[in-house]
Structure 1
Amino acid sequence: MAVLVAGLDLGLKAWAGRALSDGSTTDLGPLQLRLTFNPGVAFSLGDTLPRAVLLGLTGVIVAALAVFAFCFTRTAALPFVLALAAMLGGALANVIDRAADGLVTDYLHTGWFPTFNLADAFVVTGAAILVVASWRASATTDARTGP
């Protein structure tokens, strides 16, 4: 699933790069399609770091996430597997996109939040599912073992 997430986002980034390169926007109700490029990570943090440093750091983080997901998901419940796959796929897509020119392509704009991409949405959604699934698993374990 992580490969599917990464492929979908990279395909959309390629499309946005072609379709929106003239500065046009497309209104989709609560979202607009608008092309921007982010030299940093979330909210442009680290945008002044050298490209190689930022790419190296994000690459190490993605590699660590991949190793953790590979080891952990062998025995994990489905929500954990899906959450880690979403996070890994999104993070991998952004690293691959950054590797080309040091920039991450963003194309989803809300008007009130910084422009982002589908990979970002998968990372955040995966993290949220991971937190909720962990909380639920902990509550279930506590209920079984008692006070």
Structure 2
Amino acid sequence: MFWIALVGLVLDQASKLWLLYGFNLGQAGPVEVLPVLDIVLVWNRGISYGLFQQDGDLGRWILAIGTVAATIGLWIWSVRAETRFLAFALALIVGGAIGNGIDRLAYGAVVDFVHFHLGTFSWYVFNLADVWIVAGVAGLLYDGIKSGPNKAAK
């Protein structure tokens, strides 16, 4: 499952690098792709949904170290996974976590750029790493439900 994590990481980083330096999104400004979808530049100094915003170096490093620790734990879990599906879901999360972790180390914040909205409703701004993480967590939930409540007791 190493390849799944690597492909997710490469796609995430390539999209961010292109938008930052190829397209120059910071100066180009928001781009309307569809009436409900814009490409915008948001520097997320927190975690999911912008929670726990960290403006100082200490907070940034705590989040970075937490990301490394969680990623190592998830990778160990994926290597020991009993099914390919579970290993795949964990690899998606690992690839996304590494992608966002690289941003945090390189820029001090995570690069987010996809913005869905409908009328006055605005969904949070996210990136491909976030998509991989959410898909992986959905896979973990599905695996847990599919396995049934008695699996943990064995």
Matched, 1:16 2:19: yes
1: distance between equivalents of 2:35 and 2:94? 29
How far 1:83 sits from its partner (Å)? 0.9
Matched, 1:46 2:55: no
TM-score (normalizing by structure 1): 0.84
| 1:105 aligned partner, one-letter code | V
2: distance between equivalents of 1:5 and 1:51? 23
Considering only aligned residues, what root-mean-square deviation do their CA atoms show, in Å?
A: 1.9
Is contact 1:27-1:33 (8 Å) kept? Answer: yes
Equivalent residue number for residue 90 of structure 2: 84
Deviations 1:79-129 (CA, angstroms, capped at 9, x unpaired): 212211111111111111111121100010012211000110110111111
Is contact 2:44-2:112 (8 Å) kept? Answer: yes
Is contact 1:32-1:108 (8 Å) kept? Answer: yes
Deviations 1:19-75 (CA, angstroms, capped at 9, x unpaired): 212213131354221111101111222213621112112221112111221222xxx
* Partner of residue 58 from structure 1, selected from 67, 73, 79: 67
Matched, 1:67 2:70: no
1:113 match: secondary structure: strand
Is contact 1:87-1:123 (8 Å) kept? Answer: yes
Identity, % of aligned pairs? 31
Is contact 1:46-1:54 (8 Å) kept? Answer: no
Task: Report how many residues are paired.
Answer: 138
Flag as ranges the 4+ runs of structure 1 deviating above 6 A. Answer: none
1:109 match: secondary structure: strand
1:40 match: secondary structure: coil
Is contact 1:36-1:107 (8 Å) kept? Answer: yes
Is contact 2:30-2:38 (8 Å) kept? Answer: no
TM-score (normalizing by structure 2): 0.81
2: distance between equivalents of 1:9 and 1:89? 9
Matched, 1:129 2:139: yes
